[in-house]
């Protein structure tokens, strides 16, 4: 797959790399369900330390999947769906390309079968 296949958009690469980790996917799920949460609150729901949660949140933030905003002494994180939307669009485009390729192969195979018969 070339960079041109998804418009040279490195954001998709960052999202896919961030989502490759099951803990980060779980964090994203928890945030989506809660709407907003602190690293401490999220760590209470996971079998990892608060420090590990903060590191995972930093990766998700760098990929554009979450954002953190300071409220008093706390940093509250929320999901940013835009990066997921862009990745979903790229995946849908990739799937459509494969559907076209497979339809062409099917058509060629069916034609060859008719010619033999």
pLDDT in tens, 7-62: 447 788 899 999 999 999 999 999 999 999 999 999 999 999 999 999 999 999 99
* pLDDT tens-digit map of 56-110: 999 999 999 999 999 999 999 999 988 888 888 887 888 888 888 888 898 899 8
Q: Is domain 3-116 in CATH 1.10.10.10, yes or no?
A: yes
Q: Return the domain boundaries, the chain.
A: 3-116
Q: What percent of the chain has pLDDT over 70?
A: 92
Distance of alpha carbon 9 from alpha carbon 101, whole angstroms = 23
Q: 4 pLDDT exceeds 80?
A: no
Alpha-carbon span 83 to 81, nearest angstrom: 6
Q: What is the pTM assigned to this prediction?
A: 0.72
């Amino acid at each position: 797959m070339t960079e041109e296949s998804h418009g040279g958009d490195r954001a998709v690469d960052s999202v896919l790399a961030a989502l490759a980790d099951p803990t980060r996917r779980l964090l994203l799920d928890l945030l989506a369900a809660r709407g907003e949460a602190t690293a401490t609150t999220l760590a209470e729901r996971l079998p990892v330390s608060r420090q590990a949660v903060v590191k995972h949140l930093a990766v998700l933030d760098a990929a554009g999947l979450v954002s953190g905003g300071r409220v008093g002494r706390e940093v509250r994180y929320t999901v940013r769906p835009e990066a997921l939307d862009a990745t979903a669009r790229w995946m849908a485009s990739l799937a459509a390309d494969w559907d076209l390729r497979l339809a062409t192969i099917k058509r060629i195979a069916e034609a060859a079968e008719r010619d033999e018969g």
